[in-house]
Amino acid sequence: MRVDGSLAEGVGSGRGGTGDDGRSSGEIAAAEITGAWQRVKRRLRAELGEDVFASWFARLELQEVSGGVARLTVPTRFLKSWIESHYLDRVLATFRSEADGIESLEVGVRGAMAPARPGAATLTKPAPSPRPAASPVVEMPEPERAPRGPVPDGELGGAPLDARLTFESFVVGRSNALAHAAAERVARHDGGPALYNPLYFHAGVGLGKTHLLHGIGHAVKNAGRRVIYLTADRFMYGFVNALKTQSALAFKEKLRAIDVLILDDVQFIQGRSIQAEFGHTLNALIDAGRQVVVAADRPPTELESLDERVRSRLAGGLVVEIGTLDEGLRASILQSRLEAVRASHPTFEVGPAVAEYVAKAITANGRDLEGAVNRLLAHATLTGAPVTLDTAETAIRDLVKNREPKRVKIEDIQKLVASRYNVSRSDILSERRTAAVVKPRQIAMYLSKVLTLRSLPEIGRRFGGRDHTTVLHAVRKIEKAIGEDTALCDEVELLKRMLQD
Ligand code: ADP
Ligand code: MG
Nearest CA to ligand 1 atom 25: 170
Q: Amino acid letter at 249?
A: L
pLDDT at position 25 is: 41
Q: How confident is the model at residue 12 (pLDDT cuts 50, 70, 90)?
A: very low
CA of 29 to the centre of ligand 1 (A): 48
pLDDT at position 500 is: 75
Percent share of the chain, pLDDT over 70? 81
Could you tell me where the DSSP H helices lie in 19-64?
A: 30-48, 50-52
Better-scored residue on pLDDT, 500 or 421: 421
pLDDT at position 244 is: 67
For the residues 199-225, what does the mean pLDDT come to?
Answer: 94
- CB burial readout 345-368, b (16+ within 10 A) else e: eeebebeeebbebbbebbbbbbbb
124 pLDDT above the threshold of 50: no
- Is there an atom of ligand 1 within 6 Å of 209 CB? yes
CA of 396 to the centre of ligand 2 (A): 22
pLDDT at position 13 is: 36
- Is there an atom of ligand 1 within 6 Å of 138 CB? yes
For the residues 245-264, what does the mean pLDDT come to?
Answer: 79
28 pLDDT above the threshold of 60: no
Pocket test for ligand 1, best of 207, 338, 368 (most atoms within 8 A of CB): 207
**Contact between residue 40 and residue 98 where contact means Cβ atoms under 8 Å apart:** yes
For the residues 39-52, what does the mean pLDDT come to?
Answer: 83
Among 18-27, 300-309, 440-449, the least confident range: 18-27
Q: Omega into 198 within 30° of 0, i.e. cis?
A: yes
- Is there an atom of ligand 1 within 6 Å of 267 CB? no
Secondary structure tally for the chain: helices H, strands E: 21, 8
Better-scored residue on pLDDT, 468 or 34: 468
Ligand nearest to the CA of 166: 1
pLDDT digits (tens, 9 = 90+) for 158-206: 778 899 999 999 999 999 999 999 999 999 987 777 778 999 999 988 9
Percent share of the chain, pLDDT over 90? 37
pLDDT at position 273 is: 77
- The model's pTM: 0.56
Among 54-58, 152-156, 414-418, the least confident range: 152-156
pLDDT at position 277 is: 80
Residues 6+ apart with CB under 8 A from 315: 200, 299, 300, 301
Residues 6+ apart with CB under 8 A from 196: 182, 186, 317, 318
- Is there an atom of ligand 1 within 6 Å of 170 CB? yes
1 pLDDT above the threshold of 50: no
**Contact between residue 239 and residue 274 where contact means Cβ atoms under 8 Å apart:** yes
CA of 231 to the centre of ligand 2 (A): 9
Could you tell me where the DSSP H helices lie in 404-463?
A: 410-420, 425-429, 435-451, 456-462
pLDDT at position 114 is: 32
Report how far residue 326's alpha carbon sits from residue 285's, in angstroms, rounded to the nearest whole number: 36
pLDDT at position 157 is: 58
Better-scored residue on pLDDT, 372 or 159: 372
CA of 141 to the centre of ligand 2 (A): 6
Q: Which atom of ligand 1 is nearest to the CA of 214?
A: 6
pLDDT digits (tens, 9 = 90+) for 455-478: 899 999 999 999 999 999 999 999
Residues 6+ apart with CB under 8 A from 181: none
26 pLDDT above the threshold of 80: no
Q: How many residues does the chain have?
A: 501
**Contact between residue 297 and residue 202 where contact means Cβ atoms under 8 Å apart:** yes
**Contact between residue 444 and residue 420 where contact means Cβ atoms under 8 Å apart:** no
151 pLDDT above the threshold of 90: no
Report how far residue 264's alpha carbon sits from residue 221's, in angstroms, rounded to the nearest whole number: 17
pLDDT at position 51 is: 64
Better-scored residue on pLDDT, 410 or 28: 410
Output the known binding site for ATP.
206, 208-210
- Is there an atom of ligand 1 within 6 Å of 179 CB? no
Q: Which atom of ligand 1 is nearest to the CA of 322?
A: 3
Ligand nearest to the CA of 367: 1
- Is there an atom of ligand 1 within 6 Å of 370 CB? yes
For the residues 145-151, what does the mean pLDDT come to?
Answer: 33
pLDDT at position 281 is: 83
Report how far residue 245's alpha carbon sits from residue 148's, in angstroms, rounded to the nearest whole number: 17
Per-residue CA distances from 358 to 136, 325, 349, 381, 436 (Å): 19, 13, 14, 18, 49
Better-scored residue on pLDDT, 71 or 136: 71
Mean pLDDT of the chain: 79
pLDDT at position 243 is: 67
112 pLDDT above the threshold of 60: no
20 pLDDT above the threshold of 80: no
pLDDT digits (tens, 9 = 90+) for 334-349: 999 999 999 888 888 8
pLDDT at position 132 is: 34
Domains and CATH numbers, the chain: 2-122 (3.30.300.180), 142-321 (3.40.50.300), 327-400 (1.10.8.60), 410-500 (1.10.1750.10)
106 pLDDT above the threshold of 50: yes
